[in-house]
A = this chain, B = another copy of it.
Amino acid sequence: MVDLNVDLGNGLVLDNPVLTASGTFGYGTEFDDFIDLNRLGGFVVKGTTLHHREGNAYPRMAETPSGMLNAVGLQNKGVKYFVDQIYPTLTKYQSKVIVNVSGSTIEDYVSCTEYLEGLDGIDAIELNISCPNVKEGGMAFGTSCASAEKVVAAVRKVYSKHLMVKLSPNVTDITEIARSAEASGADSVSLINTILGMAIDTNRRRPLLSTVTGGLSGPAVKPVALRMVWQVANSVNIPVVGLGGIMNAQDAVEFMLAGATAVQLGTANFIDPQVTVKVVEGIEVYMKEHEMSSTKDLIGGLIL
Binary B-proximity of A252-268 (CB < 8 A = 1, otherwise 0): 01100110000000000
Q: Is the CB of A198 within 8 A of B219?
A: no
Asked whether B219 lies within 8 Å of A65 as measured between CB atoms, the reply is yes
Least CB separation from A69: chain B residue: B223
Say if the beta carbon of A205 comes within 8 Å of chain B: yes
Asked if A197 CB lies within 8 Å of chain B CBs, one says yes
At the interface with chain B, which of A51-59, A92-100, A103-111, A296-304?
A296-304
Is A85 part of the contact surface with B, judged by Cβ < 8 Å?
no
Report how far A198 CA is from B259 CA in the complex, Å.
Answer: 13
Q: Inside 8 A of A64's CB, which chain B residues have their CB?
A: 219, 222-223
A203-230: CB near B (< 8 Å → 1, else 0) gives 0111100001100101111111011001
Q: Would A304 and B212 count as touching, CB distance under 8 A?
A: yes
Residue count of chain A within 8 Å CB distance of chain B: 45
Does any Cβ of B come within 8 Å of A67's Cβ?
A: yes
A41 within 8 A of B: no
Contact residues in B for A205 (Cβ distance below 8 Å): 257, 290, 301-303
Chain B neighbourhood of A216, CB < 8 A: 223-224
Q: Tell me whether B66 and A199 are in contact (CB under 8 A).
A: no
Given contacts A205-B302, A303-B206, contact A67 B223 (CB under 8 A): yes
For chain A, residues 42 to 84, give those with C-beta under 8 angstroms from any C-beta of chain B.
64-67, 69
Check A196 for interface membership: any CB of B closer than 8 A.
Answer: yes
Q: In the complex, what's the smallest C-beta–C-beta distance from A210 to chain B, in angstroms?
A: 11
Which chain B residues lie closer than 8 Å to A158 at the CB level? none
Q: Are A227 and B143 in contact (CB under 8 A)?
A: no
Q: Which residues of A contact B (CB under 8 A)?
A: 64-67, 69, 143, 170-172, 195-200, 202, 204-207, 212-213, 216, 218-224, 226-227, 230, 245, 250, 253-254, 257-258, 286, 290, 301-304
Known A197-B223, A206-B303; 4 more pairs at CB < 8 Å: A171-B171, A200-B257, A205-B257, A220-B220
